């Protein structure tokens, strides 16, 4: 494994002002994440993992500390530059999918490309189709989110996350709204993307799912309490074979 | 991101919510349409009044005795009354500087008959100058002569409508028609002047020498004269008006300025256009209010739309939309609604004005400035009422927006 450091976080803190009291959500985090890694961030609710994810995803700014992404301190960037980072360096996968309603799968996947730079609509379409092929939904390109099952919607969201070829994929509880088999299918997709060289950061509170990552970081009370390689990496495609096939085909046309 | 791409996004977003877009647009459509129609009607009325007044002739001054005052003096001794007479005409002609033409005018109605054809016509008894003052030209034939006026000859000139109705397919010139059983020889036919604004047919006239009109048709006892004068130039009109009034006052003992009305064409035009301008203004302000209401409608919908789409805004910002992109998207949506609404409004307003003009027989006039006003206003409404919701959208906190339910 190469040791090209992608993310480097030093003394990162975040506190919120709640009336009179200030809540320290993160109390000094130090972390490095290598390029091509597959990291699971674990922790119970209130542990600070969501806050940490928001900072990693540049959705929020730290109170203090530094966050180097690809060698650049994102914590010191202005809004405009951060917008660029969000667009080009990070691919988000959210628990609730966050697809635009009344918008086809293909158009949803195109969205990050729209905000990038001048690109012909043909080129955009091709890139979005490639991403949909990777997640195995090329035949659903013209479907609207409400015509897709939960698993399919999440795969569209993953296609949207990879379409801009970001530095890493940030998945926040991506299986929280899915049944267990579909969850493992999504993880299978992440493992596949990882095998193709993508860096993946998976935030979850489900212990089972963390087994598909290579490294498990556990948060508690705003601090990292453990950070270790996963010694028992599960292969999602193997697990799927052992799981019972669902009777109902969950596709809605 | 470039403006074209944002426009595409805004258009797509509008297309995705067709009903909402249309309903928002409706306010602007009605507002702009109303402005265009109302102004068209108001301007049409103004234009028509002006045309009618200028069709009276050039530099015309009308002299009328004020009947309401005359009646109040009915008990006064004979001879001290203020009815105008031929002496006044003569005095104006001879003693007032700057007078070009003068003619007495008597009006009466009567049955016209030629062969078996009947027509009820209006007869105007005048001197030969009348044709010059009113700028009446002949279609064919000739005017009557001063000598015929002097001798009280039974001759006349008729308008096109009279000619068409009494002399179907015949040349009226040289023919004799009867006015209240008295035979009049027709000397000429006037060129058509068309209908006036009140729907009156200006070609439905018979013009005869005033002498003949009084002696044969009206009778000395019932005659009521008005005098029509034309001044040599527009600048001389006020002076001529004043001189006429003075002559009338010296010629009629015991009368006051209130007993006569000496009114110029400009006076009439000013009074009339003041009325029609007030009308235009009134109509336009009513329409303007509906445009304003349309604008507030846009703001309402855009505000609701921002709230409804908080999550969408969050998603867009998460995948790389900047504040500026979101701001522009919402402003463009608002402007698009108002511009397209404005364009449809122009088409609807224009069509409505034309249809109204035809069915109600109103004169309408769609002026470029009313279109500019309506379009300018609807754009302004779009930017003004779109800006606040757009700012609200752009300033949303990303995490709050994403978590919004």
Domain limits, chain A: 37-61+79-242
- Closest to B171 measured CA to CA, from B193, B194, B189, B190: B189
Token pair for A188: 């299978």
pLDDT of residue B384: 81
Measured CA to CA, the distance from residue B37 to residue B41 in angstroms comes to 6
pLDDT of residue B196: 62
Tell me if A86 and B318 make a contact (CB, 8 A cut-off): yes
**Who among B9, B325, B399 is closest to A60 (CB)?**
B399
pLDDT of residue B42: 83
B207-224 average pLDDT score? 85
The reply to whether the predicted model has a pTM over 0.90 is no
Could you give the strand order of the β-sheet that contains A168-172, starting from the edge strand earlier in sequence?
A: A90-93, A168-172, A199-203, A38-42, A215-220, A223-229
pLDDT tens for each residue of B32-49: 888 888 888 888 888 877
Contacts across the A-B interface (CB distance below 8 Å) = 65
When comparing pLDDT for A75 and A92, which is higher?
Answer: A92
Mean pLDDT is highest, among A188-192, B52-56, B202-206, B295-299, for A188-192
Measured CA to CA, the distance from residue B157 to residue B117 in angstroms comes to 18
Q: What is the mean pLDDT of chain A?
A: 90
Q: Are B218 and B108 in contact (CB under 8 A)?
A: yes
* B80 pLDDT more than 50: no
Measured between beta carbons, the chain B residues lying within 8 angstroms of A101 are 312
A133-141 average pLDDT score? 93
pLDDT tens for each residue of A199-228: 999 999 888 889 999 999 999 999 999 999
* B290 pLDDT more than 70: yes
Q: Give B195 to chain A, closest Cα distance, Å.
A: 59
Q: Which residue of A has its CA nearest to B317?
A: A83
Q: Give A229 to chain B, closest Cα distance, Å.
A: 30
Phi-psi region of B235 (alpha: psi -120 to 50; beta: other; left: phi over 0): alpha
In eight-state DSSP terms, residue B77 is P
Angstrom distances, CA of residue A228 to CA of A36, A129, A191, A215, B203 = 16, 37, 19, 6, 107
**Who among B8, B12, B322 is closest to A83 (CB)?**
B322
* B66 pLDDT more than 80: no
* B73 pLDDT more than 50: no
Mean pLDDT is highest, among A123-132, B34-43, B283-292, B325-334, for A123-132
B153-175 average pLDDT score? 90
B11-28 average pLDDT score? 85
* A55 pLDDT more than 90: yes
Measured between beta carbons, the chain A residues lying within 8 angstroms of B19 are none
pLDDT of residue B72: 46
**Who among A84, A98, A102 is closest to B402 (CB)?**
A98
Measured CA to CA, the distance from residue A78 to residue A80 in angstroms comes to 6
* B350 pLDDT more than 60: yes
The percentage of residues in chain B with a pLDDT greater than 70, rounded to a whole number, is: 94
Query: Which SS3 state, helix, strand or coil, does residue A246 take?
Result: coil
**Who among A59, A88, A107 is closest to B399 (CB)?**
A59
Domain A37-61+79-242 classified CATH 3.30.565.10?
no
pLDDT of residue A69: 92
Domain limits, chain B: 3-52+273-403, 98-226
pLDDT of residue A137: 93
Tell me if B314 and A114 make a contact (CB, 8 A cut-off): no
The predicted complex's ipTM stands at 0.89
Q: pLDDT class for A248, splitting at 50, 70, 90? A: low
User: By a Cβ cutoff of 8 Å, what residues of chain A touch chain B?
Assistant: 54, 57, 59-60, 79-80, 83-84, 86-88, 92, 94, 98-103, 107, 111-112, 114-118, 160, 164
Q: Which residue of B has its CA nearest to A116?
A: B1
When comparing pLDDT for A230 and B294, which is higher?
Answer: A230
Tell me if B319 and A80 make a contact (CB, 8 A cut-off): no
């Amino acid at each position: 494994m190469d040791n090209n450091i992608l993310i480097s976080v030093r003394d990162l803190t975040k506190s919120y002002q709640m009336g009179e009291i200030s809540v320290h959500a993160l109390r000094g985090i130090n972390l490095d994440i290598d390029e091509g890694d597959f990291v699971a961030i674990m922790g119970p609710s209130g542990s600070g993992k969501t806050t940490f994810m928001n900072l990693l995803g540049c959705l929020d700014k730290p109170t203090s500390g530094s966050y180097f992404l690809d060698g650049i301190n994102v914590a010191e960037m202005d809004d405009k530059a951060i917008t660029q980072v969000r667009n080009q360096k990070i691919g988000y996968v959210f628990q609730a999918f966050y697809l635009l309603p009344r918008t086809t799968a293909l158009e949803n996947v195109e969205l990050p490309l729209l905000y990038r730079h001048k690109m012909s609509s043909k080129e955009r379409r091709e890139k979005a189709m490639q991403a949909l092929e990777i997640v195995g939904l090329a035949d659903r390109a013209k479907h609207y989110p409400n015509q897709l099952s939960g698993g399919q919607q999440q795969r569209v969201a993953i296609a949207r996350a990879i379409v801009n070829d970001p530095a890493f994929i940030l998945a926040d509880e991506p299986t929280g709204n899915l049944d267990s088999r579909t969850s493992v299918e999504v993880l299978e997709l992440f493992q596949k993307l990882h095998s193709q060289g993508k860096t993946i950061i998976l935030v979850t509170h489900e212990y089972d799912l963390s087994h598909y990552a290579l490294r498990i970081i556990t948060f508690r009370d705003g601090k990292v309490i453990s950070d270790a390689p996963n010694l028992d990496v599960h292969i999602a495609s193997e697990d799927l074979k052992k799981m019972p096939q669902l009777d109902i085909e969950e596709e809605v046309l | 991101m470039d403006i074209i791409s944002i426009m595409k996004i805004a258009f797509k977003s509008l297309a995705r919510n067709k009903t909402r877009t249309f309903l928002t647009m409706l306010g602007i459509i009605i507002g702009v349409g109303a402005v265009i129609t109302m102004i068209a009607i108001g301007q049409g009325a103004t234009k028509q009044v002006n045309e009618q007044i200028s069709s009276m002739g050039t530099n015309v001054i009308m002299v009328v005795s004020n009947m309401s005052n005359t009646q109040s003096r009915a008990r006064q001794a004979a001879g001290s009354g203020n009815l105008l007479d031929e002496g006044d005409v003569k005095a104006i002609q001879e003693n007032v500087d700057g007078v070009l033409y003068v003619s007495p005018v008597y009006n009466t109605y009567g049955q016209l008959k030629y062969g078996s054809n009947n027509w009820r016509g209006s007869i105007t008894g005048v001197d030969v100058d009348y044709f010059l003052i009113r700028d009446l030209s002949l279609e064919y034939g000739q005017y009557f002569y001063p000598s015929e006026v002097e001798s009280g000859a039974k001759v006349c000139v008729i308008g096109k409508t009279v000619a068409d109705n009494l002399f179907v397919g015949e040349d009226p010139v040289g023919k004799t028609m009867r006015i209240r059983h008295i035979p009049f020889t027709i000397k000429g036919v006037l060129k058509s002047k068309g209908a006036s604004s009140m729907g009156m047919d200006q070609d439905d006239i018979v013009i005869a020498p005033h002498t003949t009109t009084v002696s044969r048709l009206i009778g000395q006892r019932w005659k009521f004269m008005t005098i029509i004068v034309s001044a040599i130039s527009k600048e001389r009109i006020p002076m001529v008006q004043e001189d006429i009034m003075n002559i009338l006052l010296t010629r009629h003992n015991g009368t006051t300025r209130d007993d006569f009305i000496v009114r110029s064409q400009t006076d009439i035009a000013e009074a009339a256009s003041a009325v029609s301008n007030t009308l235009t203004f009134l109509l336009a302000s009513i329409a303007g209010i509906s445009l304003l209401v349309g604008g507030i409608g846009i703001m309402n919908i855009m505000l609701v739309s921002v709230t409804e789409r908080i999550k969408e805004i969050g998603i867009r910002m998460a995948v790389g939309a900047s504040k500026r992109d979101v701001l522009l998207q919402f402003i463009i949506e608002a402007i698009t609604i108002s511009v397209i609404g404005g364009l449809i409004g122009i088409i609807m307003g224009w069509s409505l004005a034309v249809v109204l003009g035809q069915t109600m027989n109103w004169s309408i006039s769609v002026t470029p400035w009313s279109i500019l006003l309506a379009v300018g206003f609807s754009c302004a409404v779009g930017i003004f009422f779109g800006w606040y919701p757009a700012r609200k959208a752009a300033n949303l906190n990303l995490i709050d927006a994403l978590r919004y339910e």
